[in-house]
Structure 1
Amino acid sequence: MSTVQPTGVDADGYVLSVGDGPLQPEFQPLLEDVCLTLSPVELGVDGVYLYGSVARGDASPGISDLDLTLVLREPPDAPLLEHLEQTRLTLEQRHPEVTKIDFDIGHRAQVLAPEHKNRWGFWLKHHCRCVWGNDLAVHFERFRPSRDIALALNGDFAQALATYRTRIEHAATAPERLRLEREASRKLIRATPLLSLAQDASSWPHTLEEHVALFVQRYPAMRIQMAFFLFEARNPSAEREPFLARLDTFVAWMVSEQG
């Protein structure tokens, strides 16, 4: 088997962060609107964090999503979550420069709890950049790659993909189904470090392409399957039944490989 060169780590073996360079000017008005919209006290937002392609600076207007992590001051109740969902939809509707806006939501006590260090601490420290409010990433030291972090981030992959499967199966329209297939493909690809890092925890992939490249070097026989899901993660077009059949097969294989 060929040796995999470490990716996504610095010379000392720490995971690279997304950085804090200038954001792409095409997305500046959107981010200003996001911060202004989420800043009212009644929303209870402690910090707004950007991750994904816009955070890395390689997003494409009209093609990329806007991925946001919201940390709230207190645990949210159902009415607040509904309010935030309506806010998300409103932002999405008035900003065609992104295809979708996602909110991942947590709260301060959850983020700072020691038992969530490998999940929330790692996520904010290395995958996010704070664009408004309190930056809780300063509470954490840098992380080195580990399978424990992969488990903290994606140990729920089988359950999460089973949920996507149900939603795809019952999607009422083709655009809704294709959007869900795209999201499921991304979740599957991002879960692959559960296997690749079990053998070598010297790398940490950031982009979907890095996830696929690292995984295929570990499991070359899965190249065609990974190419399918990478394509669907970028340009979803598969019909429902073929997609679900491939999803079922790949998830079952991953579960068996985990032992």
Structure 2
Amino acid sequence: MRRAKSGLDAAGFIRQVPEVPFQTEYQAVLAAVRSQLPSLLGTHLVALYVYGSVAEGRARLGQSDLDLTLILSDACPGTQVIQLEQLRRALELGHPEVSKIDFDLGRRAEALASANRLSWGFWLRHHCRWLWGEDLARRFTPFKPEAAVARAVNGAVVPVLQGYLHTLAVGKLPDERLRLQREAARRLLRALLVLRRTDEIDWPWTLEEHRARAVRLHPEQGAALEFFYTEALRPQAGAAEFNQRLAAFLVWFAQQPGIPES
């Protein structure tokens, strides 16, 4: 029998987002995006999904982000993407129950391309809950845990994390800086899955599971991992300290075998 927190289902596939009722506090903002996004984009919106804490029914009022994946038609014009950003900001201002609203955008052909099965296919099937439109996730069968999935989903993690260093080096207002530190720390902890070993059978799901796995496999980085875990939950470090620790960790990370370079 598999352990309850292995991240796998009874058949050995990676678990999927549980179909639990959405929390009452988020019904209004979810209804707004279901209504306003199709109204703005028309036939250029192919599918709409929610992922993260709101999708899983564990969001915290006023503290959790609303994370949405939008699949657009291949012909969607750039002008509508600009209007989409304006709508995102309006929704964010009108719904203080979420701390931030994020849109992850993709095109239909990109999402369905065979070359992107391990990235887009895995993402839609295992991390997203359908809200509106054509459910492309149904086109993919469940995935079993493997390093190739971790690499495909995380992509070139070192350049992405280095991008946070450059962004944070520019003076930011405290609230924005702390938000970026939280975002970078979460991305870092999850990205360590690209160092997946052949003898691993589990698949971490929560941030705590990612932290525990990383500490177990990379004890020499224990202090750094605990720092980033704290920042991922309650960012409070000063800008200089965070950047120094992130830069040092990335030196180690980039030296590990199997890290995608670009």
Q: CA RMSD in A?
A: 1.7
Q: Partner of 2:241 in structure 1? A: 242
**1:71 matched to which residue of 2?**
71
Write the distance in 2 (CA, Å) between the matches of 1:181 and 1:200.
Answer: 32
Using the aligned pairs only, state the percent identity. 42
Q: Deviations over 1:206-249 (max 9, x none)?
A: 21111111111111222221111111111111111110111011
Which deviations, in whole Å up to 9, do the C-alpha atoms of 1:141-178 show, x marking residues without a partner?
Answer: 00001111111111311111111111111133121211
Match of 1:123 in 2: 123
* Aligned-residue offset at 1:42: 3.3
Partner of 1:178: 178
Q: Is the 8 A contact 2:40 2:84 kept in 1?
A: no
TM-score, normalisation: structure 1: 0.93
C-alpha separation in 2, matches of 1:104 and 1:258: 29
Structure 2: which amino acid aligns with 1:42? L
State the alpha-carbon separation in 1 of the partners of residues 127 and 200 from structure 2. Answer: 17
Which whole-Å CA distance do the structure 2 matches of 1:102 and 1:48 have between them? 13
Distance 1:122 1:220, change over 3 A: same
> How far is the alpha carbon of 1:77 from its aligned partner?
4.1
Deviation >3 Å, runs of 4+: 75-78
Distance 1:54 1:191 in 2: 21
Q: Are the counterparts in 1 of residues 71 and 107 from structure 2 also a CA contact under 8 Å?
A: yes
Point out where structure 2 has 5 or more consecutive residues left out of the alignment. Answer: none
Is 1:27–2:10 an aligned residue pair?
A: no
CA separation of 1:174/1:124 partners in 2, compared to 1, >3 Å: closer, same or farther?
Answer: same
TM-score normalised over the length of structure 2: 0.92
Conserved? CA contact 2:14–2:144, under 8 Å = yes
Moved more, 249-258 or 96-105: 249-258
Query: Which residue does the alignment assign to 1:8?
Result: 7
Aligned-partner SS, 1:40: helix
Q: Compare 235-244 and 164-173 and name the one that shifted more.
A: 164-173
User: What is the SS of the residue equivalent to 2:255?
Assistant: helix
Equivalent residue runs for 1:220-231 within 5 Å? 220-231=219-230
- How many residue pairs get aligned? The number is 255
Structure 1 regions of 5+ residues with no counterpart? Answer: none
The whole-number CA distance in structure 2 between the counterparts of 1:141 and 1:172 is 43
Other structure's SS at 2:46 match = strand
